[in-house]
Amino acid sequence: MVTYENWREISPSFSSENQSKGAHAVLEWAYRTYSADEIIYASSFGAEAVVLIDLIQEVKSDAQIVFLDTDLHFPETYKVIEQIEERYPALQIEKRKPRLTLEQQAAAHGTALWKRDPGLCCQIRKVEPLREALTPKNAWISGLRREQSPTRAGTNFLNRDDKFQNIKICPLIHWTWEDVWNHIRTRALPYNELHDQGYPSIGCFPCTQAVGTDGDSRAGRWAGSGKTECGLHTN
Ligand code: SF4
């Protein structure tokens, strides 16, 4: 098994020359390699996520999925989670909360921390909950695509994740935004309605803005702050 510790010794490669651009082969390898309790998909329930969930459930119908429930998501995000739960009832979807409620965070760090220190807010509400979820795992799955941003352009199918001391598996690295939407339409997948209202990437409502439909797929996140990632994918 590929683990964080033996990463350099065993590192399989996958062809991207097929219909799913390698995603099916990567997922089949992942769920063959890791037992159900050793691997988890950390899902945002955005456009890439519903595609990835659709691909995952074909390989592992009761796969474990974790959603980082910051208490600051749009109602439309919770709606698409419910739709996914109805469509794929065998999936094990956990909505993981931060240790601090919003009230406790405000008491400890002041109100609207996302305005003054979004890095700390993401650390409390996203990074630490994911760290707790990944601690007992050997591998996690992410929907990163290379074309999403310069910071994601170097992502591989398998990545040694120093931040969480884990293996990060990214089946969709070669998918384009058009590929994602073609799959959603072809499979008639439920998706977050905010995508139709100019939100290409959807996170917490205080840090997500509509940008129109022709912007890059990460536009609108932490607009004007210089921040581009929540900290889950940066070491
Ligand atoms: Fe806080 Fe914004 Fe990060 Fe959500 S995206 S955890 S509101 S800083």
Judge if the beta carbon of residue 230 lies within 6 A of ligand 1. yes
Which residue would you say has higher pLDDT here, 28 or 200?
28
Residue 221: inside a domain: no
Residue 44: inside a domain: yes
Reduced to 3 states (helix: H, G, I; strand: E, B; else coil), residue 229 is coil
Q: Cite the active site residues.
A: 230
Residue 14: inside a domain: no
Whether the Cβ atoms of residue 154 and residue 125 lie closer than 8 Å to each other: no
Residue 232: inside a domain: no
180-203 residue pLDDT tens: 999 999 999 999 999 999 888 899
Percent of the chain residues past pLDDT 90, beyond the cut: 77
Query: What is the secondary structure of 139-194 as a DSSP string?
Result: EEE----GGG-GGGTT--SEEEETTTTEEEE-TTTT--HHHHHHHHHHTT----GG
Q: What is the CATH number of the domain that holds 173?
A: 3.40.50.620
Atom number, ligand 1, closest to the C-alpha of residue 119: 8
Q: How far is the CA of 114 from the centre of ligand 1 (A)?
A: 6
Residue 103: inside a domain: yes
Q: How far is the CA of 204 from the centre of ligand 1 (A)?
A: 6
128-185 residue pLDDT tens: 999 999 999 999 999 999 998 888 999 999 999 999 999 999 999 999 999 999 999 9
Query: Which among 44, 99, 121, 199 is the best mutation to test ligand 1's pocket, defined by most ligand atoms within 8 Å of the CB?
Result: 121
What's 206's DSSP letter? Answer: G
Instruction: Return the percent helix, strand and coil in the chain, to nearest 5.
Output: 40, 10, 50
Other C-beta atoms within 10 Å of 168: how many?
24
Predicted confidence at residue 189, as pLDDT, reads 98
Pairwise CA distance, residues 176 & 5, whole Å:
32
Q: How far is the CA of 48 from the centre of ligand 1 (A)?
A: 20
58-90 residue pLDDT tens: 999 999 999 999 999 999 999 999 999 999 999
Reduced to 3 states (helix: H, G, I; strand: E, B; else coil), residue 40 is strand
The closest residue, in CA terms, to atom 1 on ligand 1 is 121
Q: How far is the CA of 3 from the centre of ligand 1 (A)?
A: 30
Residue 229: inside a domain: no
Which residues span the domain enclosing 113? Answer: 23-207
Judge if the beta carbon of residue 27 lies within 6 A of ligand 1. no
Residue 121: inside a domain: yes
The closest residue, in CA terms, to atom 4 on ligand 1 is 204
Pairwise CA distance, residues 16 & 134, whole Å:
27
Number of structural domains the chain divides into: 1
Residue 123: inside a domain: yes
